[in-house]
Structure formats: C-alpha cells, structure tokens
C-alpha cells in the first residue's frame, strides 16, 4: 500500500483529515498550498510539500513530479493545468479534471445534471443587469436565489432576491462575478449523502443525513436524517445516480432539498470530502476520508463499507466555529471533552469569527441521547429539535 504517493491540491482541514487517513495505510501524501503552516502540512512532517497556489500551473507540475496520484480538497483549482498533467505524464488525477471543471462552475454542474435527467432546482444563466434580474423575477416569482457560478462557498456567492426592490443590492453584492439564478426551493429539510465512486464506476452511498445551516454555514449534521426510511433510501439512490453522471474516482458530497411533497431536488455536488460527512469518522465502518484515499489509490471498496458502524448507530456532528470571544468555542470543546461519546477534532487554524476551526462528533445508540449530549456541549440548542 505504500507504493503510491498522493498529492493533494489544498492544505485545509479536508486535506488534513485525508492525510490522517492515508497515513494509517502507510500512504505518503504531499500537499500543495501557500505557506508552510496549513492544517494539512502541520500534521505531515514531509519536506516534500510544495509552497504555492493550486491555481498555478508550475506549482501543480512540481507537485505532480513527486506523486503517482493527484487529488483535491477543493474544486476551485486550475483545471487546465490538471488536464495537461493528465495528458503529458503518467500521473492519475481523481476526481477527473473533466469532473472538476463541470462541478466548479455551478451552472455547468446544473446543466450537466439536467442532461442526465437528475432533478435540480430550475435555473437560468443571467447577465448582471437589472433588466435581466427583473425578467427572472417575472419568470420564477419572488423570492429567488441569485448565485455566483464560481468560487462560492459557505453562502458567499448567494443572494436572496426577495423582490424587485432588492435587485440593485443583489447586483452590488455579486458584482463582477458570473451569475445564474435559481427558482426558490421551499424545502422542509436539507439532506446530504456522501457517495464514493470506484475506478470502475461503481458507486457506494453513505447514509442520508440532515444538515442544519445557520448564517449559511453548516452548523449541525444529524445522521441518519430524521426522515422516514423511504426518503432516506430515495435520497441515497438519487445521490448515487447523480455521482454516476460524473467520471473519475473519489468521494463526492451531494446536497439536496426535501420539498413539502417529499420530492427531492439536488442542490449541489462537491467532488471531494464534505463537511456533512465528518460524522463518518466515528459513526461509519469507514470514514469519508479513508474511502476517498482507497478510491483514488484503487484499493478495495468492499460491500457495506459505507454503512453506519451498527444498525442502531446515531450521530450528530457540530461544527466548531470561531467567535469574537475565543472562550466561547474553547468552552464548547472543553464541554465536549467532558462528554462521553463525543470526540473533538481541531484543525490547527487561528480564531476568526465564523471560521471553521474544528468539529465535534457525538455517537450513541439513539438520536435522543445524542441530542441530550449536544445540548450540554452547544449550550444553546433550542432550535435543534424537530
Ligand atoms: P454554498 O456553496 O455556499 O454551500 P449553496 O448553493 O449550497 O451554496 O447554498 C447555500 C444554502 O442556501 C443552501 O444550503 C440552502 O440553505 C440555501 N439555498 C441555496 N439554493 C437555494 C434555493 N434555490 N432555494 C432556497 N434556498 C436555497
Ligand atoms: Mg452548499
């Protein structure tokens, strides 16, 4: 297993947790990221890391020279450079550069899903003019969602157009970005499914989970989702079908909306480990990070390796977000350490309000028990119950 070296574009927390999973399999990892102190480099003492940007062709080539396989912890990378490396060297790249290109532009992603008969919110590309935004309002009604096609994360890149008086503000907020508009999805819950895709195109869904966002940032994840078994299964099948529409191997995070009539729509797909899959580290047979490393290194993906550890396993993941008063998040972590069945993961990042600094996994035999433990740890969880 130690014959392969995996290069990771991006050295944040997702890279850090990939490094951990790879090192347990004796698989060497090399990180491409600006600076020497990124979360992934901190826990990997190799001197081989590359100091540079995952959008710089020369830096990507340098990384490729040291590796057999390249993968990403972020989709906002230079795809053209990856395509060249793929054509000109024997280095394998997973997910494939074609997949990253289709996914990193959210509107191309939507069009690709529609071509593959996968249900998504109705959307349309728009010019950055108030006339164009007004016609969208006439077509979709208000509110609708205006989104940046590229470089969007944690809600940065989205604007809710409540009515036509908000159009100037929307244009100001998203100016100079390529835009598309999406019909409002009046969801009752947001669900997510991690899917790992093997080199042969086989797809394996993790359990369906429920994600709760606050201020556009993932706050908590409930695994499995508090929906009936049929919806859970339908969400897994939809996620598998969606991931089957892309080429290459690796883990994918599939975000969905559950509508009032129980219809499911795909919101977006990430071609990498995902925040909604952090619970898998403690609650599943194999974590999303190990599943990814196995997939990109052509290692076995046996039957049921994405299942919950036991049929009665329940889990909650709570993100640890930075706060203006650092005591706040530190106290949360301290309370988690005091709580049996809770594990704390910190990413080695400095505190900034709203920044993802770590997460806490709580695993138990019932969701009620997980919620009780969460209430102690989070200290303000009145909105968390159904
Ligand atoms: P990000 O890249 O920031 O995760 P998303 O497109 O997933 O961007 O949007 C962030 C959040 O905004 C979603 O999780 C959901 O809560 C809300 N949202 C996104 N699209 C819609 C939509 N069409 N209708 C209603 N809410 C939406
Ligand atoms: Mg999202």
Residue 152 has pLDDT above 60, yes or no: yes
Task: Indicate if the pLDDT at residue 383 is higher than 70.
Answer: no
Pairing of strands 217-223, 250-258: unpaired
Any atom of ligand 1 within 6 Å of the Cβ of 213: yes
For the chain, the distance separating the N- and C-terminal CA atoms, rounded to the nearest angstrom, is 45
Q: What is the pLDDT of residue 100?
A: 98
pLDDT digits (tens, 9 = 90+) for 207-234: 999 999 998 899 999 999 999 999 999 9
Q: How far apart are CA 83 and CA 267, in angstroms?
A: 27
Over 50: is that where the pLDDT of 12 sits? yes
**pLDDT, tens digit, for every residue of 344-376?**
999 999 999 999 999 999 999 999 999 999 999
pLDDT computed for residue 2 by the predictor: 66
- pLDDT score at 385: 44
Distances (CA, A) of 145 to 117, 119, 125, 136, 149: 22, 17, 12, 10, 12
Ligand that lies nearest to the alpha carbon of residue 211, given by its number in the listed order: 1
Residue 381 has pLDDT above 60, yes or no: no
Q: Enter the tokens of residue 86.
A: 């793929």
Question: 211-250: buried (b, 16+ CB within 10 Å) or exposed (e) per residue?
Answer: beeeeebbbbbbbbbebeeebbebbbebbbbbbeebebbb
Report the separation in Å between the CA atom of 114 and the middle of ligand 1, taken as the mean of its atom positions. Answer: 18
Q: Above pLDDT 70, what percent of the chain?
A: 98
Query: Looking at this predicted complex, what is its ipTM?
Result: 0.98
Q: What is the mean pLDDT of residues 75-92?
A: 97
Distance CA 251, CA 386 (A): 29
Ligand 1 pocket residue status of 142, Cβ below 6 Å: no
Which ligand 1 atom sits nearest the alpha carbon of residue 211?
A: 14
Look up residue 300 and give its DSSP letter: -
Q: What is the mean pLDDT of residues 193-218?
A: 96
Ligand 2 mean position to 318 CA, how many Å? Answer: 17
- Smallest-distance ligand from the CA of 182: 1
Tell me 153's DSSP state.
Answer: B
153 lines ligand 1 (CB under 6 A): yes
Mean pLDDT of the chain: 95
Report which ligand 1 atom has the smallest distance to the Cα of 123: 23
Q: Is the pLDDT of residue 380 over 80?
A: no
Model pTM? 0.96
User: Residue 382 pLDDT > 50, yes or no?
Assistant: no
**Ligand 1 in reach of 190 Cβ (< 6 A):** yes
pLDDT over 50 at 168, yes or no: yes
75 CB near ligand 1 (under 6 Å): no
User: Does the beta carbon of 154 sit less than 6 angstroms from any atom of ligand 1?
Assistant: yes
Q: What confidence tens digit (pLDDT) does each residue in 290-300 have?
A: 999 999 999 99
| Percent of the chain surpassing pLDDT 90 | 93
Mean pLDDT of 172-191: 95
Distance 267 CA to ligand 1 centre (A): 7
* DSSP reduced 3-state for 46: coil
Q: State pLDDT tens for residues 128-145.
A: 999 999 999 999 999 999
Residue 86 has pLDDT above 70, yes or no: yes
**Type and span of the H or E element at 295:** helix 288-296
pLDDT value at position 379?
84
Q: Which ligand is nearest to the CA of 219?
A: 1
């Amino acid at each position: 297993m130690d014959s392969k070296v995996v290069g990771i574009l991006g050295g944040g927390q997702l890279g850090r947790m990939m490094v951990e999973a790879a090192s347990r399999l004796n698989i060497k990892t090399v990180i491409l990221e600006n600076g020497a102190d990124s979360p992934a480099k901190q826990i990997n003492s190799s001197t081989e890391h590359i100091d540079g940007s995952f959008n710089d062709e020369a830096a990507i080539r340098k990384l490729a020279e040291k590796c057999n396989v390249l993968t990403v912890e972020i989709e906002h990378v230079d795809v053209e450079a990856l395509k060249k490396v793929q054509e000109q060297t024997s280095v394998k790249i997973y997910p494939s550069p074609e997949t990253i290109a289709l996914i990193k532009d959210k509107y191309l992603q939507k069009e690709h899903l529609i071509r593959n008969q996968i249900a998504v919110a109705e959307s349309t590309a728009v010019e950055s003019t108030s006339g164009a935004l007004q016609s969208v309002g006439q077509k979709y009604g208000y509110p609708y969602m205006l989104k940046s096609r590229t470089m969007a994360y944690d809600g940065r890149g989205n604007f809710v157009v409540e009515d036509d008086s908000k159009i100037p503000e929307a244009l100001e907020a998203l100016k100079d970005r390529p835009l598309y508009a999406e019909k409002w999805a009046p969801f009752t819950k947001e669900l997510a499914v991690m899917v790992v895709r093997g080199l042969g195109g086989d797809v394996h869904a993790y359990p369906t989970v429920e994600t709760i966002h606050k201020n556009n940032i993932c706050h908590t994840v409930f695994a499995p989702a508090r929906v009936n078994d049929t919806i859970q299964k339908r969400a897994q099948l939809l996620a598998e079908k969606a991931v089957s529409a892309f080429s290459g191997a690796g883990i994918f995070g599939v975000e969905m909306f559950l509508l009032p009539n129980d219809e499911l729509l795909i919101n977006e797909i990430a071609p990498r480990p995902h925040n909604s899959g952090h619970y898998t580290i403690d609650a599943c047979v194999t974590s999303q990070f190990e599943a990814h490393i196995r997939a990109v290194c052509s290692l076995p993906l046996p039957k049921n390796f994405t299942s919950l550890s036991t049929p009665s396993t329940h889990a909650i993941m709570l993100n640890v977000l930075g706060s203006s008063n650092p005591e706040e998040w530190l106290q949360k972590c301290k309370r988690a350490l005091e709580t049996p069945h809770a594990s704390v993961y910190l990413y080695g990042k400095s505190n900034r309000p709203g920044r993802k600094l770590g997460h806490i996994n709580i695993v138990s035999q019932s969701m009620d028990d997980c919620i009780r433990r969460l209430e102690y740890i989070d200290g303000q969880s009145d909105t968390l119950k159904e």
